[in-house]
């Protein structure tokens, strides 16, 4: 039997990278998945691949920082699949710079995508989760649901040049621990995964042809200087960066029934790296 048969999952930022791998993983284990990306093409591509493999998925395209997105994201799951069991707040990006060179807009952008967007998604889910939990309790059933927020070692340990990103990802840890206390009575486990160096477009070495993310109609170049990346990799005990699939697998661990008594925790996934 597949581990997530009958479950419904929403994953922000799941058209590419770690989110994409997680969408395939959850769908392969029986979950119905709502796929999100800024752009229609990658979201629809993931949905098509899931369906072609015999899974169930639909797309909810849009910017997670939009005021109405959280409500629309949750509503898509409820109206399309009739429930909501797994919420993964994965969407995000970086805009690095030392503090004296950071603008207010640059700092606020990280709070918008890494703090306000997850908050709105979770707030939108609150009443549906309360309603489902009350109904199940009245029927004498216990249904465990999962929230996994994606943080970073920048949020747990700090990282030079990332005061905006570190502050936002640290706030997400606080959100996780608070919500695990508020939603425990609803049988919702709320956890956080803090990644070290994972091979995605955000961590590729800068070479002059780096990838970009369209933010506010403008391309935001991604990647880190090769020397910085090499130094970090030298300090990873396992000797390499993690893959997007390995990262997705760590999130998956907090979505399956085997983790039904784990809540309020931060899982650091770093290959042994400790900054």
Locate the domains of the chain by residue range: 8-202+243-269
Per residue in 191-211, pLDDT (tens digit) is: 999 999 999 887 777 765 555
Per residue in 67-125, pLDDT (tens digit) is: 999 999 999 999 999 999 999 999 999 999 999 999 999 999 999 999 999 999 999 99
Per residue in 111-165, pLDDT (tens digit) is: 999 999 999 999 999 999 999 999 999 999 999 999 999 999 999 999 999 999 9
Cβ neighbours for 80, distance < 8 A, ≥ 6 positions apart: 32, 34, 58
**DSSP alpha helix (H) spans, the chain:** 17-28, 40-52, 69-81, 104-111, 117-138, 153-157, 163-183, 226-234, 244-253
Question: What is the DSSP-derived secondary structure letter of residue 162?
Answer: B
pTM: 0.93
Residue 162 has what pLDDT?
A: 95
Tokens matching residue 34:
């709502």
Q: Please state, as a whole number, how many other Cβ atoms lie within 10 Å of the Cβ of residue 268.
A: 18
CA dihedral over 205, 200, 95, 190, signed as positive or negative? negative
Q: Please state, as a whole number, how many other Cβ atoms lie within 10 Å of the Cβ of residue 144.
A: 14
CA–CA separation, 154 vs 158, rounded Å?
Answer: 4
State the pLDDT confidence band at 232, using cuts at 50, 70 and 90: confident
Query: Is the pLDDT score of 244 beyond 80?
Result: yes
Per residue in 14-67, pLDDT (tens digit) is: 999 999 999 999 999 999 999 999 999 999 999 999 999 999 999 999 999 999
Residue 27 has what pLDDT?
A: 98
Q: What is the dihedral of CA 135, 189, 171, 245, to 10 degrees?
A: -120
Residue 220 has what pLDDT?
A: 67
93 is catalytic: no
Residue 32: phi, psi to the nearest 5? -85, 130
Catalytic residue among 93, 165, 252, 261: 165
41-55 b/e (C-beta count within 10 Å ≥ 16 → b): ebbbbbbebbeeeeb
- Give me the CATH topology for the region 8-202+243-269: Rossmann fold (3.40.50)
Residue 43 has what pLDDT?
A: 98
Residue 246 has what pLDDT?
A: 98
CA–CA separation, 145 vs 206, rounded Å?
Answer: 40
117-138 vs 163-183: helix crossing angle, rounded to 10: 10
């Amino acid at each position: 039997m597949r581990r997530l048969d009958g479950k419904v999952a929403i994953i922000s930022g799941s058209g590419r990278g770690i989110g994409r791998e997680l969408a395939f993983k959850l769908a392969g284990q029986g979950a119905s998945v709502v796929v999100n990306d800024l752009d229609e093409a990658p979201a629809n591509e993931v949905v098509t691949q899931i369906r072609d493999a015999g899974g169930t998925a639909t797309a909810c395209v849009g910017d997670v920082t939009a005021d109405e997105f959280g409500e629309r994201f949750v509503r898509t799951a409820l109206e399309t699949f009739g429930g909501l069991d797994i919420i993964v707040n994965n969407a995000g990006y970086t805009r690095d710079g030392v503090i004296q060179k950071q603008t207010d807009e640059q700092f606020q952008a990280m709070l918008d995508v890494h703090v306000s967007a997850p908050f709105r998604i979770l707030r939108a889910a609150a009443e549906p989760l309360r309603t489902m939990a009350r109904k199940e309790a009245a029927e004498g059933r216990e249904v465990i649901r999962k929230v996994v927020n994606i943080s970073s070692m920048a949020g747990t340990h700090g990282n030079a040049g990332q005061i905006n990103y570190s502050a936002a990802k640290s706030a997400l840890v606080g959100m996780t621990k608070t919500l695990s206390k508020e939603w425990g009575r609803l049988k919702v486990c709320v956890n956080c995964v803090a990644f070290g160096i994972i091979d995605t477009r955000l961590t590729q070495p800068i070479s002059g042809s780096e990838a970009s993310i369209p933010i506010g109609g403008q391309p935001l170049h991604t990647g880190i200087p090769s020397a910085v990346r090499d130094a970090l990799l030298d300090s990873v005990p396992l000797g390499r960066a993690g893959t997007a699939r390995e990262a997705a697998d760590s999130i998956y661990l907090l979505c399956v029934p085997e983790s039904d008594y784990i809540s309020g925790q931060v899982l650091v996934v770093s290959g042994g790296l400790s900054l």
